[in-house]
């Protein structure tokens, strides 16, 4: 997790001026409840913690939870509402040199939509118990999707962190 928004761009980073108007709008559908209330406490990614977290869906959207427990895993999309949206190149905390934002999973990006693949442990009312989150308590939830191994799992995928251009 980076904290660029508190300090502005660092050397090698590049910010852009975003368009004045948005192209589309989002409705928060609920909130994520996690054990982490400070960024420094968040795990680096969802696989680095066994913590059971909760996705609490607003009553308005709760009917959309029907049948969701048929999935062993879910994709959660959520909104990193504290992220700097202007950075197109940024300096990861533990890397040499800056990198393009789209080569990183940093929350700082033009549309700070984060994605986590989580294990679904159970449902109680409008809340889903899940394992695999890494975000702050209270993070706004945008979407819940069933995870399909056939289309979403690419175990052979590789990332060369050096990049090529």
**What's the min distance (Å) between Cβ of 34 and a second copy?**
16
Residues 87-116 binding a second copy (CB under 8 A) are 88-89, 99-105, 109-111, 113, 115-116
| Residues 94/1, Cβ–Cβ less than 8 Å | no
127 binds a second copy (CB under 8 A): no
d(CA 91, CA 123): 39
Among 8, 10, 14, 96, binds a second copy (CB under 8 A): 14
Distance of CA 5 to the CA centre of its chain: 17
Q: Among 104, 76, 78, which residue's Cα sits nearest to residue 4?
A: 104
Distances (CA, A) of 30 to 69, 76, 83, 129, 143: 17, 11, 19, 14, 9
138 binds a second copy (CB under 8 A): no
**What's the min distance (Å) between Cβ of 38 and a second copy?**
22
**What's the min distance (Å) between Cβ of 129 and a second copy?**
14
156 binds a second copy (CB under 8 A): yes
Listed ranges 3-11, 32-40, 148-156: which one lies at the site for a second copy (CB under 8 A): 148-156
Residues 17-76 binding a second copy (CB under 8 A) are 18-19, 22-29, 45-47, 57, 60-73, 75
d(CA 133, CA 46): 4
């Amino acid at each position: 997790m980076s904290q660029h928004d508190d300090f502005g761009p660092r050397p090698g980073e590049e910010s852009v001026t975003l368009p004045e108007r948005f192209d589309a709008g989002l409705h928060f559908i609920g909130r994520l409840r996690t054990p982490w209330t400070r960024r420094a406490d968040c795990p680096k990614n969802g696989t680095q913690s066994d913590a059971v977290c909760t996705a609490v869906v607003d009553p308005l959207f709760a009917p959309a939870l029907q049948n969701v427990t048929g999935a062993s895993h879910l994709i959660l999309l959520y909104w990193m509402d504290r992220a700097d949206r202007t950075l197109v190149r940024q300096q990861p905390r533990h890397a040499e040199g800056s990198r393009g934002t789209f080569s990183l999973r940093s929350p700082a990006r033009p549309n700070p939509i984060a994605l986590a693949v989580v294990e679904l442990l159970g449902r109680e009312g409008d809340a889903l118990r899940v394992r695999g989150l890494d975000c702050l308590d209270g993070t706004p939830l945008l979407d819940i999707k069933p995870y399909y191994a056939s289309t979403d799992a690419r175990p052979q995928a590789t990332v060369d962190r050096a990049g090529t251009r």
